[in-house]
Chains A and B, each alone.
Chain A
Amino acid sequence: MAQAQTQEPLASTCLEVNGVTLSFGGVHALDDVALDVRHGEVFAIIGPNGAGKTSLLNSISGLYRPQQGSITYTPEPKAAPVSLVGRAPHKVAQVGIARSFQNIELFRGMTVLENLMLGRHIHMRGNVLSCGVYWGPQRREEIRHRAAVEDVIDFLEIENLRHQAVGTLAYGLQKRVELARALALDPKLLLLDEPMAGMNVEEKEDMARFVLDVNEEWGVTTVLIEHDMGVVMDLSDRVAVLDFGRSIACGTPDEVRADPAVIHAYLGDAE
C-alpha cells in the first residue's frame, strides 16, 4: 500500500476491516475486503454500483454478519479495541458508531425533535415506570437530553423544523435530519451512506460543509460512501475503492485517481 502523504504523524487506527467475506447464497457481496480508517479522518468508500459498499457499511454496523474476517473498532486512541463482527446493531450503536442510510430511514410518524431524541436513546436510562410516571427524574433526564439535541439542531440549522413531522419535509432536509439524528448519538465514528445522493448542487455544498464541520469541530471520524467524485476528492483524507466485492485500492485521493486498477474498474481498458 502506498505511503500516506500527510505531513502530520500517522494517526492511530479507528476502524480496521480485515479479510471480510460476506455472501448471500452464491453471491459474494464482499470478498476478502481490507481497509483501515484512522482517528479523525474523513474516509470515503467508492466503487461502481453493486461493488459492495453498502454491504460493507451494513457489516460494520451489525446489520449483516460476515462469514469470515474481522472488523475491529477502537473508540479512541489507546482505548481497548472492540470486535464488531456478530455484534447486534444496537450494541454497535452503544460503542459510539452512528450511521445514516442510503434510502432515508427516518421515523416518519415523528417530529424532527423526536427523531433526534432517539439519537439520545443510548445515553438515557428511563424505563417503563419512570417514563410512565414522568415527573421527577424522567423529566430531568428528558430536559437534559433535549438540550443536547438542541445543540445539534443549532449546528445543522434546522431550528425552524423542530416540531414538524419528518414525513412532510423535502428530500434534502430529510437527509439533513438523518445526519442530525446520527449526530445526536454523539458518535465517535460516523458512517454515511450516500449523504448527497439525489441532491442539487446547493444542497450538496451545504451537506459537504456540514460533513467537514462535524469532522473538524466535533472531531468525529467519518466514513462515507459517495458517487460524486468531485465531492469525494474534495472532502476525504483517504479513499478506498471496491469493485465486485474486493478492495482494489486504498490511499489519498490523488493516489487512487492515478491507480491503474481503479481506472480499469471505472473506465475499462483502452484496447
Chain B
Amino acid sequence: MESGIFFSDYRSDMALRRMPLQKVRTGLLLVGLVVFPLLANPYWLNLANQIAIATIGAIGLNILVGYTGQISLGQGAFMAVGAYGSGLLTVRLDVPFYLSIPAAALITAFAGLVVGLPSLRLKGLYLAVATLAAQQIVEFVVTHWDGLTGGTEALVVPAPELFGARMNTDGRFYWILVVVALAVALFAANLFRSRVGRAWVAIRDQDIAASAIGVNVFGYKLLAFATSSFLVGLSGALLAHYRSIVTWERFTIEVSISYLAMIIIGGLGTISGSFFGATLIVLLPAMINTLGRSLQDTAPWAATVLPYVQQGVFGLVIILFLVLEPEGLAKLWRNVKDYFRVWPFSY
C-alpha cells in the first residue's frame, strides 16, 4: 500500500483501480488499444485478434481452474460447442451473429453444467479425467453426426454484418473482439471482488470451511462450470465468425492443453494472467515462424529444423515457468510494478 494515500469511504477502498498509478495504466492501455489498429498491418491485427479470442477463453478457463480449483480438460470441447452452435444457428437458421453468439454461449453454459455434475463426487485429477471424457464425447459427436455438423467437412460461416458493414477484415473484427474481451475481463474482475467470486475462491482454498460458512459448495461448483463454459463458448463462437470456417481440428484435446498452459504460464487465478498467457501462447509460435522465414535465405538448414524447435521451445517455456515463477507472468508483472513503485530506493 502506498503511503500518503488514504481512503475515507468503503467505495473508493473497494474500487477495482484504487491507486492513481493504476488508473493511469488503465488509461494508457485503453489508448493503446485504440491506437494499435491505426498503426498495425493485417499480420499484427490478425495476431491481436487471436490474442483477444484466446484471452476470453483463458479467462473462462481460469474461472474454473484457477479460481474455483476444478481442473478441466474440456476446454476444446466447450469451444467446439460454442463455435458449432453459433455457426449452425447462422448457416441453418439465418440467425444474425449478434444473437447467435450469445445463444451459443448459453448452450455451452448448459453443456458445462452437465459436464460439471461429476464434481459432486470427484476432485482434482479424477475430475480432470471426467472432463476428458466430455472432450472425447464432443469430438466424437462433432465428427460423426454428419447430418448436424457436416462431420469432418468444414462448416463455412459467412462473415457477419454489423450496421450494414461486413466484418470481413481483421481491422473491422478487431473492434468487436476488443470490446467483448474488455467487457469479459471487467465482468470477471467484478465477480472476484464480490459475493459469487469469493465463494468460488473459498471452495478452491477450503471446501469444508466454505460449506460450514454457508456456501452451497456443489451449487457453486456447477455455477462455476456454467459461467466458465459460457465464456469459453463465447470465445469459440467468436472464433467461428472470425475464421468464417469451423472444423473439428481446431477443438481437439491439444487446444484444451494449450489453454491450460496459457493460464499456468499467465498465472492461475488472475485476470491479467489470462491475458499475458494468451498473448505468449499466441505470439510464441508466430514469432518462431517469422524468425524461420527471415532465416530462409541466409541459413536454410535453420528453417527446416524450426518446426521442431517450436515444439521444444513451447515445452521449455512451460517448464521454465513452473520452476522459476510458478505464479506466472502476472506475478512477474507484479514484481516489476513493486520494483518501480519504490524506485530508486530499495524499500
> What total of chain B residues lie within 8 Å of the partner, measured CB to CB?
33
Name the contact of A105 in the complex, choosing from B187, B198, B201, B209 (C-beta under 8 A).
B209
Interface positions of A from 119 to 147, Cβ below 8 Å from B: 119, 121-122, 124-128, 130-134, 138-139, 141-143, 146-147
Report B50 CB to chain A, min CB distance, Å.
Answer: 25
Whole-angstrom distance between the alpha carbons of A138 and B197 in the complex?
13
Q: How far is the CB of B221 from chain A (nearest CB, A)?
A: 12
Chain B, residues 177-208, CB within 8 Å of chain A (1/0): the string is 00000000001101101111111011011101
Q: Is the interface of A mostly helix, strand, loop or mixed?
A: helix
- For the complex, is B213 an interface residue (Cβ under 8 Å from A)? yes
Contact B201 A124 (CB under 8 A): no
* Cβ contact within 8 Å between B215 and A118: yes
A132 touches B14 (CB 8 A): no
The answer to the question of B26 belonging to the interface, with a C-beta cut-off of 8 Å to chain A, is no
Contact B211 A107 (CB under 8 A): no
Cα–Cα, bound, A101→B205 (Å): 15
**Complex formed: what's the CA distance from A134 to B193 in Å?**
9
Q: Which residue of B lies closest to A167 (CB)?
A: B205
Q: Complex Cα distance A99/B210, Å? A: 11
Given contacts A128-B227, A132-B187, A146-B10, is CB(A105)–CB(B206) below 8 Å? yes
B269 beta carbon closer than 8 Å to chain A: yes
Distance from A107 Cβ to chain B, minimum over Cβ atoms (Å)? 4
Contact across chains for B227 and A89 when beta carbons are under 8 A apart: no
Binary contact track B202-238/A, C-beta < 8 Å → 1, others 0: 1011101111111111000001000100000000000
Tell whether, in the assembled complex, residue A127 and residue B187 are in contact, meaning their CB atoms are under 8 Å apart: no
Q: Are B191 and A109 in contact (CB under 8 A)?
A: no
User: Which chain B residues lie closer than 8 Å to A93 at the CB level?
Assistant: 211-214
A8 to chain B minimum Cβ distance, whole angstroms, is 32
Q: From residue 10 to 51 of chain B, which have CB atoms closer than 8 A to chain A?
A: 10-11, 14
Which of A122, A127, A130, A134 gathers most chain B CB within 10 Å? A134
Q: Does A185 have its Cβ within 8 Å of any Cβ on chain B?
A: yes
- With A122-B214, A128-B227, A143-B14 as contacts: A107 and B209 at CB distance below 8 Å: yes
Minimum CB–CB distance for A147 against chain B, Å? 7
Contact assessment for A109 and B201 in the assembled complex, using a CB-CB cutoff below 8 Å: yes
CB-CB contacts below 8 Å: A173-224 with B: 181-182, 185
Interface centre among A127, A142, A182 (most CB of B within 10 A): A142
Q: B223 and A128: CB pair below 8 A? A: yes
Could you say which of B194, B204, B217 has the most chain A C-beta atoms within 10 Å of its C-beta?
B194
Contact with B along A41-84 (1 / 0, CB 8 A): 00000000000000000000111000000000000000000000
A122 proximity list for chain B (CB < 8 A): 213-214
Q: Shortest beta-carbon distance, B180 to chain A, in Å? A: 14
- The distance in angstroms between the C-alpha atoms of A235 and B12, with both chains bound, is 41
Kindly supply a per-residue 1/0 record for chain A positions 80-120, scoring 1 wherever the CB is within 8 Å of any chain B CB and 0 otherwise. 00000000111011100011010001111110001001110
* A interface with B by C-beta (< 8 Å): 61-63, 88-90, 92-94, 98-99, 101, 105-110, 114, 117-119, 121-122, 124-128, 130-134, 138-139, 141-143, 146-147, 163, 181-182, 185
A-B contact sample (19 more), CB < 8 A, given A114-B198, A118-B210, A139-B11 = A63-B208, A88-B211, A88-B216, A90-B211, A90-B217, A106-B205, A107-B201, A109-B204, A114-B201, A118-B213, A121-B195, A122-B213, A127-B196, A128-B191, A131-B194, A134-B190, A142-B193, A143-B14, A181-B213
A-B contact pairs, 27 of them (CB 8 A): A61-B212, A63-B208, A63-B211, A88-B216, A90-B215, A93-B213, A99-B212, A101-B208, A107-B201, A107-B202, A108-B205, A109-B269, A110-B198, A110-B202, A114-B201, A117-B195, A118-B215, A121-B215, A122-B214, A130-B194, A131-B190, A131-B191, A133-B187, A134-B190, A139-B11, A143-B10, A143-B11
7 tightest Cβ-Cβ pairs between the two chains A and B:
A93-B214, A122-B214, A134-B190, A126-B195, A105-B209, A89-B211, A107-B205
